[in-house]
Chains A and B, each alone.
Chain A
Amino acid sequence: MKHSTQMFAESDLNNRNRRYEQLFKTLFLLMTLLLIIPVLVILGTLIVKGSGSLSIEFLFTEPTNGMTEGGIFPALLGTVWLVSVALLISVPLGVAAAIYLSEYAPDNWYTRIINLAIINLAGVPSIVHALFGVGAFVIFFGFGTSILAASLTLAIMTLPVVIVSTRESLQAVPHAFREACWNMGATRWQTIRKVVLPNAVSGILTGVILEVSRTTGETAPIMFTGAAFFLPYLPQGIFDQTMALSLHLFVVATQVPNVPESLPYGVALVLIGIVLLMNTLSIAFRMHLRSKKKW
């Protein structure tokens, strides 16, 4: 008899605990969903209101009539310019820095300072990067407001993205492979070139795609360094100013009077489409890699 009451009491306690657990689980799920659902609703609104202005023509014609009509071609092309030049600078630099940190750097005070600098570089507000770009590239180095100055600013700002993702992919290659190579008399560089990099390159690419996405969306750093509100001509080289998609959204949303509502929605949709496409690509690529185990 005593035995059975004890059993009963225990199962009662268990039931209560299970109810609590279920309650908390539901609560946390709700919070997660509340984080995601508004954003999905917002994205839906963007699509509904913006898709009307989307067309091939929208993508490939110039804005007309004081930017209240026409397309976004100069802004789109400008973003391609800015992102390409920024990547040409930041990818080699970032990959090299990551190789140093992952493969050569001893565990000492200056490596710690480098790591701290990377964290800070990522944490400095984008508008301060813009000020730096103005002070350093526009004025001091005399590049003026140009694609070069803007892309340098973007490159430095997104450098931590490349460094961190590259370092992660390098370190995902097991240390035992390196030791095996060193034991055969390979130098660090031979080991990196023949074993580490070939096995990290897809991971690095994933990070680069992510950087394309980041760079495409940045606005503040290019506002005063190379991107213009409106230009009647297309950029011909890296010393020209250019329009940019992100800044164009800001301009048509806030600076231009009498813009039909669908136009800024269309620009926002294109911008977010590019960014999310890049991110999805990067995620898909990463999952593909994970499924293709090489060791």
Chain B
Amino acid sequence: MATTKATEQLDFDRYNQEWYIDKLVQGVVFLAGISAIVFVLGIFIFVTMEGIGFLFKDFSLSQFLLSPWWEPTDDDKPTYGILALIAGTASVTGLAMVVAIPFSLGAAIYIGEFATGKTRETLKVLVELLAAIPSVVWGFIGLSIMNPLIIDLFDVPVGLTVLNAGIILGLMAAPIMTSIAEDALKAVPDRYREAAEALGATRWQVIFKTILPAAKNGLLGAVLLGVGRGFGETMAVLMATGHAINIPDSIFDSVRALTTTIAAELGETAVGSPHYEALFTIGIFLFLITFIINLSADLIVRGIRNQ
């Protein structure tokens, strides 16, 4: 008996090969896990590193944020104001949300609460496929299909406008917002529906009075992610806005966005020049804004899960 105990004690106290392999794997996958953190920090650090020279040279925060003049190539006195670019991004994103919010919400309600069986599956698949269309294809659609359409319909000289990009971006963001909103509706427990139905409420009463209020955080999260998407979109906006620096008066004005300025100008600047560094500074600005948007969306969505 004593010997058995001794060997047992030894077995239980000795690391074997499998133990070491498990620890090794744990270490490796842990490194892979924290690589996500490393990359996010890396993005911030490297983009800042390239842009920081600008921050310490001619940079004035008030001019950067409040001047509508983005004239980095002006020979005498280049100015770096992103107000017009912010206005461009905001107007396009804003219009996109006007398009996307009602439609994606409506679609989410139909798919989540009304559609059943095959219809539901088919619609979900279609929405998923819509989300897959690359942004450069959307840009091309804006450029070659929407552009002449807008010129014809509204009798305007140019069709590459806030309206064009807003619709394109709305159609781009809607599928993603639809699936997130549908998830939020699905997260409302069935007992809410059953309880309301037991009280004699009809389906649309259940939806408006019970489900939408219960899912409001998730729906808000969906909208925020849509905003983030619109804010960060590059190719589609580049091709559909007309790319004119302008604080728009109407949806028929051409504008230019923050992202597209980088995409259009980075190739023409010399590494390390103030213009080059200013573009990276816009990058920092974009990074911080989307960081905040994504963080709030996550906090809001997680809020419902913890309830």
Instruction: Verify whether A and B have any Cβ pair under 8 Å.
Output: yes
Q: Which residues of A contact B (CB under 8 A)?
A: 17-18, 20-21, 24-25, 27-32, 34-36, 38-39, 42, 45-46, 93-94, 96-97, 99-101, 103-105, 110-111, 113-114, 116-132, 134-136, 139-140, 156, 159-160, 163, 187-190, 192, 213-214, 216-220, 223-224, 246-247, 249-250, 253-254, 261, 264-265, 268, 271-272, 275-276, 278-280, 283
Among A21, A28, A111, A268, the residue within 8 A (CB) of B107 is: A28
Query: Is the beta-carbon distance between B135 and A131 smaller than 8 angstroms?
Result: no
Q: Is B187 positioned at the interface, with any CB of A under 8 Å from its CB?
A: no
Q: Is B66 positioned at the interface, with any CB of A under 8 Å from its CB?
A: no
Q: Is B145 positioned at the interface, with any CB of A under 8 Å from its CB?
A: yes
- The verdict on A132 contacting B43 (CB below 8 Å), with A31-B106, A190-B18, A275-B132 known, is yes
Residues of A within 8 A of B279 (CB): 131
Query: Is the beta-carbon distance between A21 and B202 smaller than 8 angstroms?
Result: yes
Q: Mark B14-48, 1 if CB is under 8 A from A, else 0.
A: 00001101100110111111111101101100110
Query: Is the beta-carbon distance between A246 and B35 smaller than 8 angstroms?
Result: no
Query: Is the beta-carbon distance between A124 and B263 smaller than 8 angstroms?
Result: no
- The verdict on A125 contacting B204 (CB below 8 Å), with A114-B34, A218-B134, A265-B144 known, is no
Q: Is B129 positioned at the interface, with any CB of A under 8 Å from its CB?
A: yes
Residues of A within 8 A of B295 (CB): 116, 120
Residues of B within 8 A of A20 (CB): 202, 204
- The verdict on A279 contacting B132 (CB below 8 Å), with A129-B43, A187-B18, A189-B22 known, is yes
Query: Is the beta-carbon distance between A125 and B233 smaller than 8 angstroms?
Result: yes
Residues of A within 8 A of B107 (CB): 28, 31-32, 35
Q: Is B102 positioned at the interface, with any CB of A under 8 Å from its CB?
A: yes
Residues of A within 8 A of B305 (CB): none
Q: Measured between C-beta atoms, what is the minimum distance from B144 to chain A in Å?
A: 7
Among A25, A32, A139, A279, the residue within 8 A (CB) of B271 is: A139
List 11 extra interface pairs beyond A275-B134, A279-B132, CB under 8 A: A28-B107, A35-B103, A121-B40, A132-B43, A159-B35, A159-B39, A213-B132, A217-B137, A220-B259, A250-B140, A265-B144
Main SS at interface, chain A: helix
Residues of B within 8 A of A275 (CB): 132-134, 137
Some 10 contacts from A to B, beta carbons below 8 A apart, are: A28-B107, A96-B28, A117-B39, A124-B287, A131-B46, A187-B19, A190-B18, A219-B135, A250-B140, A279-B132
Q: Measured between C-beta atoms, what is the minimum distance from B21 to chain A in Å?
A: 6
Q: Is B239 positioned at the interface, with any CB of A under 8 Å from its CB?
A: yes
Among A31, A39, A97, A128, the residue within 8 A (CB) of B47 is: A128
Q: Measured between C-beta atoms, what is the minimum distance from B298 to chain A in Å?
A: 5
Query: Is the beta-carbon distance between B36 and A114 smaller than 8 angstroms?
Result: yes
10 smallest CB-CB distances across A and B, nearest first, come from A217-B134, A125-B232, A31-B106, A96-B32, A135-B46, A28-B110, A100-B33, A100-B29, A123-B294, A187-B22
Q: CA–CA, A259 to B45, complex, Å?
A: 41
Q: CA–CA, A188 to B37, complex, Å?
A: 24
Residues of A within 8 A of B123 (CB): 32, 36
Nearest-CB residue, chain B, relative to A95: B32
Query: Is the beta-carbon distance between A189 and B37 smaller than 8 angstroms?
Result: no
Q: Is B80 positioned at the interface, with any CB of A under 8 Å from its CB?
A: no
Q: Give the interface centre of B19, B125, B231, B279 by most chain A CB atoms within 10 Å.
A: B125
Query: Is the beta-carbon distance between A219 and B19 smaller than 8 angstroms?
Result: no
Query: Is the beta-carbon distance between A127 and B33 smaller than 8 angstroms?
Result: no
Residues of A within 8 A of B293 (CB): 123
Residues of A within 8 A of B137 (CB): 217, 249, 268, 271-272, 275
Nearest-CB residue, chain B, relative to A102: B29
Residues of B within 8 A of A97 (CB): 29, 32-33, 35-36
Q: Measured between C-beta atoms, what is the minimum distance from A65 to chain B in Å?
A: 21
Q: Measured between C-beta atoms, what is the minimum distance from A34 to chain B in Å?
A: 6
In B265-279, the 8 Å CB interface with A consists of 266-267, 271, 279
In B186-230, the 8 Å CB interface with A consists of 202-205, 207, 225, 228
Query: Is the beta-carbon distance between B134 and A272 smaller than 8 angstroms?
Result: yes
Q: Measured between C-beta atoms, what is the minimum distance from B150 to chain A in Å?
A: 14
Residues of A within 8 A of B225 (CB): 123
Query: Is the beta-carbon distance between B114 and A28 smaller than 8 angstroms?
Result: yes
Q: Measured between C-beta atoms, what is the minimum distance from A190 to chain B in Å?
A: 6
Q: Give the interface centre of A125, A134, A224 by most chain B CB atoms within 10 Å.
A: A125
Query: Is the beta-carbon distance between A35 and B130 smaller than 8 angstroms?
Result: yes
Residues of A within 8 A of B102 (CB): 31
Q: CA–CA, A109 to B110, complex, Å?
A: 38
Nearest-CB residue, chain B, relative to A112: B302
Query: Is the beta-carbon distance between A250 and B235 smaller than 8 angstroms?
Result: yes
- The verdict on A100 contacting B232 (CB below 8 Å), with A159-B39, A216-B134, A279-B129 known, is no
Query: Is the beta-carbon distance between A125 and B286 smaller than 8 angstroms?
Result: yes
Nearest-CB residue, chain A, relative to B36: A117
Q: Measured between C-beta atoms, what is the minimum distance from A229 to chain B in Å?
A: 9
- The verdict on A117 contacting B171 (CB below 8 Å), with A36-B130, A253-B140 known, is no
Residues of B within 8 A of A280 (CB): 129
Among A127, A250, A283, the residue within 8 A (CB) of B259 is: A127
Q: Give the interface centre of B46, B106, B136, B263 by most chain A CB atoms within 10 Å.
A: B136
